[in-house]
Structure 1
Amino acid sequence: MRVLALGGTELKLLWRNRTVMFMAIAFPLGLGGYMAYQGSSFGGGGWGVVVTLQIMLVLLMTVYITITTTLTARRQDLFLKRLRSGELTDFGVLAGTVGPVLVLGFAQSLVLAIIAMAAGAPIPANPLLFAAGVLIGLALFAAAGMASTVFTKTPENAQLTTLPIFMVAAGAAASSFLADNQMAHWISVALPGGGIAEMLRTGWLGVTWDGRSVGFVEQLVSAGPAAGASLLWAVLAVYAALRWFRWEPRS
């Protein structure tokens, strides 16, 4: 109950912060909605790219950057330190602070998927694979956000400290669409974000990276390396977050 109460308080604080609200809610949803209504110009296959970019936008902006900014702000004003002196465990403190952002990211992903289908996108060919991509992506970028606070002194610095992972993940996602040979494809999948994009696109369209339409089981098999690489990055991010996360302000 205390974790839920903390989560409710955190959600209210997010709504009251106009900058965070714009970056975490208005901007991803607005841009994602615009992309959806432009998606018909890409043809049937283009919807996989559109929807994947929508979800990646949510994962990077709503989840990754917001968690980095929020935890850094709570650490700087000693809010996390005060919570640790109470009855909540360390895990409870982090769950109550990060949980609302994860719920928000999942809700936005669902809304954007519905908007895309309303704009003409086909229904997901493999909902299980698509959902797995969203959930693994949430875990990966939430942990990455926690780990990024190690290098972030103030909330204002978050715009700079999150840039490397943001650019790598966005570039890997884009490369997964543009790869014209197997080597380039595997490199993009091996990078953080590339595997997530591969799972999302394959789950939505039911085709492999080279455009072959395959059945349900083959879709899962073809996305196996992408899922494995993404899970590995998620585990490494969780380890880094738990190992080096700082509870008190950086000097």
Structure 2
Amino acid sequence: MKTLYGIEWKLFNRIKANYLFVVFVPLMILMAMRTVQDQLDIAKYGLNAGPLMVSTATGTLLIFTLYSSVTGLYVARREELVLKRLRTGEVSDAVILAGGASMYVTIAVVQIIVVTAVLSVMFGTAPQALPAALAGLVTGVALMTAMAAATASLCRTVESVMVATLPAIFILPMVSGVYIPREVLPDSLGEALLFAPLSSTVDLMRSGWTAELTVVAVLVRVALTVAWTALFTWIAIRKFRWEPRT
């Protein structure tokens, strides 16, 4: 794991443009979402801007920094025959995939910690239930990594990654409460969207600052995220390709 992390970090630093995508693009999207949420007049729905922005930031960074980047990483390393060569050694498949993704996991977690800390200061809010936020972060990282592996199994080439990740980039934030809080939607629709893949992570992160979820509600959301993670992991195990398609 340590060796794979070091290799990916060196490769990442060789292309300075990576910092533009991984650091500035998600923050620009976050600023745009702040404008959208201002127009929604969230106060009348009993929502606080600080915790809401924390959950928005977490969802945005998990999708753009972790999911899309790791999907592209898996496909690129497969096309370069790196994954095939690694499998000839003693390292297990799970360690190969986890080691490759570990660098982007680190970047995403650091980004989330820094951004949420800044947002807490900006909005004058402090975490009220950190275990809920920690549960959301850990399960969210696992979910996005498994989802990246499952998506990579559908991609023939690096060029196809952009198309394959479009549903998650554009649709997933809309249905999971990242861009638009589910509370502003009709009750039946909002309740149905609780079962979207990233909804539980968003709820857990927000509850970390508001403590609005009970212990049972936290466990339910953790279970939902684990279920989605298991599904994507199963897809990856069955469909993931370790060498280019001929």
The superposition leaves residues 160-196 of structure 1 with CA deviations (integer Å, 9 ceiling, x where unpaired) of 1011123332012235242342x22321110111121
Give, in whole Å, the separation in 2 of the partners of 1:186 and 1:206: 19
- Conserved? CA contact 1:36–1:115, under 8 Å: no
Q: Which residue number in structure 2 is paired with residue 63 of structure 1?
A: 66
For structure 2, the 5+ residue unaligned runs are none
Q: Which residue number in structure 1 is paired with residue 209 of structure 2?
A: 204
Give the C-alpha shift of residue 46 in structure 1.
1.3
Q: What amino acid does structure 2 have at the position aligned with 1:145?
A: A
Select between 219-228 and 39-48 the one with higher mean Cα deviation: 39-48
For structure 1, the 5+ residue unaligned runs are 208-217
- Conserved? CA contact 1:37–1:116, under 8 Å: no
Give, in whole Å, the separation in 2 of the partners of 1:167 and 1:33: 17
- The two structures have a TM-score, normalised by structure 1, of 0.84
The structure 2 residue matched to 1:228, chosen from 214, 217, 223, is 223
Q: Which residue number in structure 1 is paired with residue 245 of structure 2?
A: 250
Give, in whole Å, the separation in 2 of the partners of 1:177 and 1:18: 40
Select between 183-192 and 164-173 the one with higher mean Cα deviation: 164-173
The structure 2 residue matched to 1:81, chosen from 76, 80, 84, is 84
Answering whether residue 26 of structure 2 is matched by residue 21 of structure 1, we say no
Closer, same or farther: CA 4–23 of 1 in aligned 2, 3 Å: same
Answering whether residue 32 of structure 2 is matched by residue 7 of structure 1, we say no
Q: How does 1:44-55 map to 2 (within 5 A)?
A: 45-55=48-58
Give, in whole Å, the separation in 2 of the partners of 1:240 and 1:121: 42
Give, in whole Å, the separation in 2 of the partners of 1:33 and 1:222: 30
Q: Which residue number in structure 2 is paired with residue 212 of structure 1?
A: none
Give, in whole Å, the separation in 1 of the partners of 2:124 and 2:186: 24
Give the C-alpha shift of residue 30 in structure 1.
4.9
Give the C-alpha shift of residue 90 in structure 1.
2.1
Closer, same or farther: CA 166–141 of 1 in aligned 2, 3 Å: same
Aligned length: 238
Q: How does 1:105-120 map to 2 (within 5 A)?
A: 105-120=108-123
Q: What amino acid does structure 2 have at the position aligned with 1:12?
A: K
Q: What amino acid does structure 2 have at the position aligned with 1:138?
A: V
Q: Which residue number in structure 1 is paired with residue 130 of structure 2?
A: 127
Closer, same or farther: CA 242–56 of 1 in aligned 2, 3 Å: same
- Conserved? CA contact 2:50–2:120, under 8 Å: no
Give the C-alpha shift of residue 154 in structure 1.
1.9
Give the C-alpha shift of residue 85 in structure 1.
1.9
- Conserved? CA contact 2:49–2:123, under 8 Å: no
Select between 144-153 and 89-98 the one with higher mean Cα deviation: 89-98
Give the C-alpha shift of residue 5 in structure 1.
1.4
Question: Percent of pairs identical after alignment?
Answer: 25
- Conserved? CA contact 1:150–1:244, under 8 Å: yes
SS of the equivalent of 2:89 reads coil
The superposition leaves residues 94-122 of structure 1 with CA deviations (integer Å, 9 ceiling, x where unpaired) of 12211111111111111111111221341
Q: What amino acid does structure 1 have at the position aligned with 2:193?
A: S
- Conserved? CA contact 1:140–1:230, under 8 Å: yes
Give the C-alpha shift of residue 32 in structure 1.
4.0
Q: Which has the higher contact order (CA 8 A, sep 6+)?
A: 2
Q: Which residue number in structure 2 is paired with residue 214 of structure 1?
A: none
SS of the equivalent of 2:162 reads helix
Q: What amino acid does structure 1 have at the position aligned with 2:123?
A: G
Give, in whole Å, the separation in 1 of the partners of 2:29 and 2:121: 16
Give the C-alpha shift of residue 236 in structure 1.
0.8
Answering whether residue 99 of structure 2 is matched by residue 101 of structure 1, we say no
Give the C-alpha shift of residue 26 in structure 1.
2.7
Q: What amino acid does structure 2 have at the position aligned with 1:227?
A: V
SS of the equivalent of 1:119 reads helix
- The two structures have a TM-score, normalised by structure 2, of 0.86
Q: Root-mean-square deviation (CA), in Å?
A: 2.6
